[in-house]
Amino acid sequence: MNLKRVVVTGLGAITPIGNDVPTTWDNAVKGVSGAGPITHFDASKFKTQFACEVKNFNASDFFDRKELRKFDLYSQYAIVAAEQAIKEAGLETEGVDKNRVGVIFAAGIGGLHTFEEEAGYYALHPELGPKYSPFFIPKMIADIAAGHISMMHGFHGPNYGTVSACASSTNALIDAFNYIRLGMADVIVSGGAEAAIFPAGVGGFNSMHAISTRNDSPETASRPFSGSRDGFVMGEGSACLVLEDLDHALARGAKIYAEVIGGGMSADAYHITASHPEGLGAILVMQNALNDAGIKPEDVDYINVHGTSTPVGDISEVRAIKEVFGESAYKLNISSTKSMTGHLLGATGALEALFCVKSVEEDIVPPTINHEPDDLDENIDYNLNFTFGTAQKRTVNVAMSNTFGFGGHNACLVVKKFSGK
């Protein structure tokens, strides 16, 4: 089969470290932490009282009051990030066949805040009987962001959401990549969004002992690969990439950021929340991605790792990288941008794919922050280059993004510099 080549022609982001791509990328390169006290609700009685929230986001700048009745916060983030990417890619110009433009947009949870508000009312006041908004279900469901984006722009191509916990938006991008290279669409607007920093989200992760409780130092709480790490830091926001058939992009003179060359998927088949301790699923997903891309391990320059700052997960991912890459693992740059953005759950894969695209475009690797030289874990090989502390300039021809989700879902995307060949 003669597969089409797929390139990235637009980027958008609403994140804890910036409300657009330039600001987000600049702060990632500078090593800025997006963590701080929770403002979405009173978290004073929770074990964790901080998170990486989106800042200075005013919904009324983008939506009128009537529209806002239809949008959960996660959909608001998705729509705005997608708007940025669509505008940058020039998809609203004449000559773009909107019947050949799709939207595949992910969420790991979806409209959690809407669910809390609606279901909570009846739980608190059962004597008053059920009282639900007609917008309750369509605001809450995890596919609705894709629907809104397509309706707002008249895109009639493939349209749905993917749900695979923290791997959700990487799965969305892989699906988009495959549809385009198979010739089933010319362009797909793809990414993920999440907004779960509300009582049920924080309380639920607290009860699992999954998130950090370092309330005295939120900015340094996400510390992947450090000995004192105690869980991930919740994040929120959205990231969007416009994926496009290369010939289609060249014909309309679109800017090309990078080329998508492969995607891999696997399952741990091990535990509902914990990664396989030996990294078996992580090994398989990276091998699958390399095979799909048609490259060797030594061709990869940078891995944006899942690296959530959890005691078990960080160790298993390092083991997997060493198994897959062998001696070339020591020539790689590895970094966890979650140390700055927190963990955006269903949106994290898209954001980290965006960072990979920017890395190959600008030849710079963003850092893993919050590591102290004497804060070590005997199970982690510190001869690997984790890009601790500060960004590093280097040629990045090929970058890989790992995402692993509850349920054992693993997904990996590979991008490279666009050379035109």
- pLDDT of 59: 95
Number of H helices, E strands in the chain: 13, 14
Q: Is 148 a catalytic residue?
A: no
Answer with the residue of higher pLDDT: 122 or 59. 59
Task: Kindly name the residue from 306, 356, 409, 412 that is annotated as catalytic.
Answer: 306
Look over the chain and give the mean of its residue pLDDT values, rounded to a whole number.
96
CB 11 within 8 A of CB 232: no
Q: Is 343 a catalytic residue?
A: yes
How do residues 4-30 score in pLDDT, each as one tens digit? Answer: 999 999 999 999 999 999 999 999 999
pTM over 0.85: yes
Q: Is 409 a catalytic residue?
A: no
How do residues 157-207 score in pLDDT, each as one tens digit? Answer: 999 999 999 999 999 999 999 999 999 999 999 999 999 999 999 999 999
Average pLDDT over residues 334-356: 98
Gap between the Cα atoms of 410 and 269, Å rounded: 10
> Is the pLDDT confidence value at 125 over 80?
no
Can you give the C-alpha Rg of the chain in angstroms? 20
> Is the pLDDT confidence value at 212 over 90?
yes
Average pLDDT over residues 391-395: 98
Gap between the Cα atoms of 117 and 145, Å rounded: 19
- pLDDT of 36: 98
Gap between the Cα atoms of 344 and 35, Å rounded: 12
Closest to 7 (Cα-Cα) out of 171, 289, 253:
253
Average pLDDT over residues 371-376: 97
Burial class of 383 by CB neighbour count within 10 A (0 to 12, 13 to 18, 19+): exposed
Q: What is the DSSP string of 328-381?
A: GGGGSEEE-THHHH-B-GGGHHHHHHHHHHHHHHHTEE--B-S--TT---TTS-
- pLDDT of 421: 63
> Is the pLDDT confidence value at 353 over 70?
yes
What are the structure tokens assigned to 81, written together? 């990030």
> Is the pLDDT confidence value at 121 over 80?
no
Task: Kindly name the residue from 40, 52, 148, 166 that is annotated as catalytic.
Answer: 166
